[in-house]
Chains A and B, each alone.
Chain A
């Protein structure tokens, strides 16, 4: 998948409430050790519903100039 969008999870701000994972239409997120992360083998469609409902602004879609390529999920 070639895209200039990527999903970003800021684990420093994530409080692990689980809202993003519960309402992700693709079931592409999970909570591990009280932090949100991408679930292996699932398909994120970059719809941004997680960003809209994250009470802590810890997950969002980032658009960048360069193609995101394989690095489309970034976490810190």
Chain B
């Protein structure tokens, strides 16, 4: 049994950011060498620091899989839920107390396979939660099975002859389902990704940030993508800023990933609309009395 407060090292041996927003007694984390998830988790902490959010008022919700471990490492109110259901749990937390900042950290399989239904409906409903997807194109925790974002033709332990499924573009899926904020970041593009996550949290409504992670251990090895460095280099060379991508043809964008805020629109946020309805009911009742 470990009490967070008691075992904090006297000499920190870590950056102020990590010391302030993470639970050092649970670090180093379990993610493999070169895993992009660590970079993305830091991006989330940095975005929270930049926005000056209160640790007590910020809720981190995760599902199941490699990504879900983030909830244990981050020092907020954290809840590690069931596979795919993080958004549904987050919806209950936000609706019960709309003053909370609710951030979901999920994986690609978690959010777009088993949790796909919750993703599209939260997007449609425009509930004010922020979803950060650690998208590594594979089920890592279970050892490298293909996921809905594994590219066609790529290999996984359950796609030994190459994946014949078509893959999801999660940011595009969220946009299509009505997300008022849909964006993509990457493990390589840290500054841009921190800014995008910041914008996503600030956005009043449902926001989804699909962050391209890297899984050198399973996806990389199975698909001969090289080391974590090679995979991040691919991101560096093949991710196109959204402004530039708008001027490019479909053909030119083939095999590339668009980086940046793909869509941002203002709609009325769900919990705000609900509380507005409650106020209206109370006012009408007062008039009647």
Contacts and interface: CB of A to CB of B under 8 A. Distances in A.
Complex: A in contact with B (CB within 8 Å): yes
Interface of A: 8, 10, 12-13, 15-19, 22-23, 51-58, 60-62, 76
B39 A18 contact: no
B249 interface: no
- Which 7 pairs between the two chains have the least Cβ-Cβ distance? A55-B38, A17-B34, A15-B33, A60-B15, A22-B229, A52-B190, A17-B33
A55 B232 contact: no
B27 A57 contact: yes
B242 interface: no
Nearest to A76: B13
Contacts, number: 74
A52 B191 contact: yes
Contacts of A55: 31, 33-39, 187, 228
Contacts of B35: 55
A34 B32 CA distance: 13
Interface in B168-222: 187-188, 190-191, 216
B27 A53 contact: no
B15 A18 contact: no
A13 to B, nearest CB: 4
B42 interface: yes
B18 interface: yes
A17 B229 contact: yes
Contacts of A10: 13-14
